[in-house]
Chains A and B, each alone.
Chain A
Amino acid sequence: MTREILIEHINKVFVDKFELDPAILTPEKRIFEDLELDSLDIVDLVTGLQHTFGIPLRDNKELLQIRTLGDIYNLFEKIVQEHPELEEKLTKEQ
């Protein structure tokens, strides 16, 4: 699966949950400062990502380190590498 497909799935969560314009969703965007999410919005974000990827994320400590949208893309690239079954699932949904 290409990084583009992964980014598309992650961006869809932002569009569906926060009605953000896809055009502004670029890797350098800071989650809190630029997109104006706060800690409670992160709960909605995690719920959306869990639903999209079908994996539990609440105990993922690396999620606490994310600062930019690019950090989320990188984290999920790593998660997909660790869970090869996700690749098939996401490609099918594509």
Chain B
Amino acid sequence: MRTFLVYLSVSICILLYLLVISVPYCITLMLPGRRCAHYMRLLTLYMGKAVIYIALRPFVRVQYSDLADGATAPGIYICNHRAATDAFLMAAFGIEAIQIVNGWPMKLPFFGFNARKCGYLDATQTPLESYPTIARDLIAQGVSIIAFPEGTRSGSTQMHPFHSGIFKLAMELKLPLYPCCIAGNEAFPDRSFKFHKTSRILVHRLPPVLPEDYANMPTAYVLKKHLHTLIAQETEKMDRELHP
């Protein structure tokens, strides 16, 4: 029953949001590529906020803490990945960003269309060698990049090992990395897309790891292990706060 109600609430919220923004949405779709992507990212950001703070509010409370002292420089957001709601929870950061996603979300009706218009990157289709050019261009426009280097949802409080690709990119372009932590949504929804009872979801943005902090690290492997440790330590604390 809860699962049905959550989907109903999210669907109604998105429909109402689309009704309200229908005119700017249509105008945005007619804009040339880069401007279209910019406005689509903003519209998607506010849709995400509507979903997590309004549609999900009867079921769960989302609490965001910025521990990065409001740092604004665009960079790469490295997040742990427990559940499909993570994609929406990214709206809590309130930044213009694109997400690097696995193939399947790009194929979803409506969401996949929006994601393509926003310039989201499909990790299964984007050639590795094109990432530096794309990332450099996005960062120059002030757009951050959100990555889930575990590659897939863990569905638990455990974190999978990270893949190195995004860290190689950060080292090559000397970009700040923002470690981001999400806790409380490991069963919201579970890996079968069923929503289980949960009271709070916590989202934390940690202070950035700057290029000068990792300048002496020999490889992306060392950097990914460093970020993995930072996120694991914080999510452990968050899990203890949620389940004392």
Contacts and interface: CB of A to CB of B under 8 A. Distances in A.
Interface of A: 16-19, 36-38, 40-41, 44
Interface residues of B, number: 13
B218 A17 contact: yes
Contacts of A37: 221
B218 A16 contact: yes
20 contacts: A16-B218, A17-B219, A17-B221, A18-B219, A19-B217, A19-B225, A36-B225, A37-B221, A38-B161, A38-B163, A38-B164, A38-B165, A40-B163, A40-B164, A40-B220, A41-B164, A41-B219, A41-B220, A44-B219, A44-B221
Interface string B212-225: 00000111111001
A40 B165 contact: yes
A45 to B, nearest CB: 9
B117 interface: no
B168 interface: yes
Contact of B222 (A18, A38, A40): A18
Interface string B160-171: 011111001000
A36 B164 CA distance: 10
Dominant SS at the A interface? Answer: helix
A17 B220 CA distance: 9
B92 to A, nearest CB: 29
B218 A40 contact: no
A-B interface, 5 closest residue pairs, ranked by CB to CB distance from nearest = A36-B161, A40-B164, A44-B219, A41-B221, A18-B221
Contacts of B163: 38, 40
B157 to A, nearest CB: 19
Contacts of A19: 217-218, 222, 225
Interface in B221-244: 221-222, 225
A44 B220 contact: yes
A8 to B, nearest CB: 19
Contacts of B221: 17-18, 37, 41, 44
Contacts of A38: 161, 163-165
Interface in B93-119: none
A15 to B, nearest CB: 10
Most chain A CB inside 10 Å of its own CB: which residue of B161, B217, B219, B220: B219
Nearest to B151: A38
